[in-house]
Each structure stands twice: as structure tokens, then as C-alpha cells.
Structure 1
Amino acid sequence: MSITYAEVEVGTELPAQSFPVTRATLVQYAGASGDFNPIHWNEKFALEVGLPDVIAHGMFTMAEAIRVVTDWVGDPGAVVEYGVRFTKPVPVPNDGVGTTIEVSAKVAVLLGDNKVRVDLLAKNGDDKVLGMSRAVVRLK
């Protein structure tokens, strides 16, 4: 898909996506990222430090969310800025099913120079897990 600047307006909604997360996903991400913090794989440790369960890596959650934008624009290199605030952890139960991160997004501002700001909403159940989640994207 190749989106052009002329095709978008403020309020344009990007296709929402759901991203499943299991304990196996966390192990794979830990191996790829090198982040083996026990809060992401050791339930006993996570509970001892006050977390509700093992939690997904923040950077993993952030990466899954931006996929809504990169899939929409068709080119990951079109994302020129991206930032979030981590607002709630994503607990991942050890039940073989795991959990889901739901992400929606819309064009919030036309910036000119073929750039738009896209605001994202990432939720896990009723909890908003990323705040101030915004990407600046250069369109054709």
C-alpha cells in the first residue's frame, strides 16, 4: 500500500490491529533484544516486585503498536519520529493463550512537507498501555 499526502485528512483512521502476546513471544523477544530482565519471564520474581504477573517488554509493546502505521504507509522508513509514554504494563498470563494488544490510530495533524502526525491508541483489555503515542510519517 502506498498512501499519498493528498489522500489523507485529519481524522483519517488507519486499519486497527490486534497483536497476540504469549510467554513464548516474550522469550523470543528477549532472545532478539537481549533483554532478559526476570520481570518478563519469571512469574515469582514479577509478583515479588509488585507486578500483576510477568509483563511484556515495553519496547516490544511499542514496536507492535507502530506496526499499525508501517503497515498502513507500506514503508517503515517513512516513520521519521515516534515516541510514547508507558502508562500501564501488559501482563501476560502463563495459560497458553496469553493476552492481546489492541491498536488503533488516526491522522491527527497535517504537518506540511508531505508529513502527518498519527496518534495511536494501544490497549490491553480496558487499560491504555501507551500514552502520548505519536508518530510523524512522511507520505508520498
Structure 2
Amino acid sequence: MKIDFFNTCNGMDPRAINHGVYMIELLEKEESVCLYIGESVWIASRCGVHLYSLYENPNYFGLTKEDIDNDEFTLKFSVIDSLNEKKSVLGVGQYKNLELDAIRRNKPLTQLETSDRQIRDVQEKIKRVQDELLKKGFK
């Protein structure tokens, strides 16, 4: 698996070192699958934690070891919305509203439809992601 960590034609997206809402998706050729949407005051740092968690356990995003070893796949991290205002309280306000709106629009496979929480049942998360990969022709 290749990693696209906030890449742009000019290097790393500078918005990734600030606060806002981000998306993690799996790409193969022309197709993409949204795995996760999140919000953070330090997007790149938070996504580094996600990346570490994924390599420790591919099921973290409903993937398998075979998916991690597949050179045709790219795990892409991107900024959806950046925010100028500082976050005062975790999980409330404009950050949360933008995140929940992005979740509704993009329907990340590893998350609940009405929350930023990941699906707790690991087997359900794996099934959702693997079924979508088959449906889109990734496998």
C-alpha cells in the first residue's frame, strides 16, 4: 500500500498542520472508498496516530494484511475543511458540525452514520469495508 499523506502538487498541504476536518480514503486506479472522517486541532499529528494504529492492526479501518501489502492501493489523507478559529471544547461547535456534515456527505464505511465514532464490532467493520472493496472491483 502506498501512502498519500496530504500530498499536493506543491508538497504537503499546509492546512494539514492546522485544525479542521480530514478524510482518509482508499484508492485504486480511478475508484475510491471513504474509510474515515475526523476533526482535529493538529490534523497531521492525529493522522500520524491513525497511520500507526492501522499498521499495528489493519482491522482499525476494516482492512486486512493483504490490503496493506497490496501495492495497487493508496491510502489517501486529505483536508476537507480548515478552520481559523481555535477549538475551545472537544466535540462541540463548528469543528463537530463540519465533521458530522462531512460524515453524512461521504458516508465513511468504518463509522456510524450519525456520529464520529467508529463501528465497535470489528467483524462488522471488516465486512462493510471488504464488501465495498469487492463491489467496487478492488478485489
TM-score by length of 2: 0.26
Please tell me whether Structure 1 or Structure 2 has the larger radius of gyration of its CA atoms: 1
* TM-score of the pair, normalised by structure 1: 0.25
Structure with more of its chain in helix, by fraction: 2
Higher strand share: 1
